[in-house]
Amino acid sequence: MDLVDLIREKRFLGQEFLTWLWFVSERGAGRVPIEGRGTAEIHFEERMVLDTGLDLYRQTVTCQGRNLDLTEARAALREGKKVSQARLRVALADREWRLTLSADGLDMTGLRLSSHWDPFEEGPEELAGRLLDRVALLKELVDLLDRLFEEFLARRLDPAWPSRDLAAIRRWLRKE
């Protein structure tokens, strides 16, 4: 099996992760406890893409807007579409990130870090320090997302998944 086939075969994990993350964040009003890290705020905002995942007959629903109402996205999920991409705002303590997370490979695009700076207003030493700060912010985000994915996988692989988590997600989906 080549790499492309392996990615296609495991794509469902990214879709299920995004759905679980949406469920967990909405259930906690955006607050998501992360073991050993405190509580992060995770909000789905501005844009979400759901699709059937069938390459030849793919159907896609894109929900977007400033005050994203996820009612349409929830209806698409009930119809069997899967979350393939979501715009997130993630905050932890005084740090904030905005990004689009894709189910395919859990790729991040459009990343915005909470620090604002103009590289032309500073000297080389300050610039190097700022760049290191931004790298540290990026690493912190990746570590946070890794921790969330690890938690999702632990729950997903638990034999209680169908009766506990999946049942709760289905109840959440039925809720209008």
Summarize pLDDT for 49-108 with one digit per residue, the tens: 998 866 677 788 888 876 667 888 888 888 888 999 999 999 998 889 999 999 988 999
- The pTM assigned to this predicted structure is 0.86
Query: Does residue 117 carry a pLDDT above 60?
Result: no
Cα angle 162, 159, 36; round to 5: 100
Packing angle between helix 3-27 and helix 167-174, nearest 10 degrees? Answer: 60
Based on its alpha-carbon atoms, the radius of gyration of the chain, rounded to whole angstroms, reads 18
The residues spanned by each domain of the chain are: 3-174
- What pLDDT score does 141 carry? 94
List residues bridging with 109 in a β-sheet.
100
- Find where tokens 């289905």 sit: 170
Instruction: Label residue 20 by pLDDT band (50, 70, 90).
Output: very high
Query: Does residue 176 carry a pLDDT above 70?
Result: no
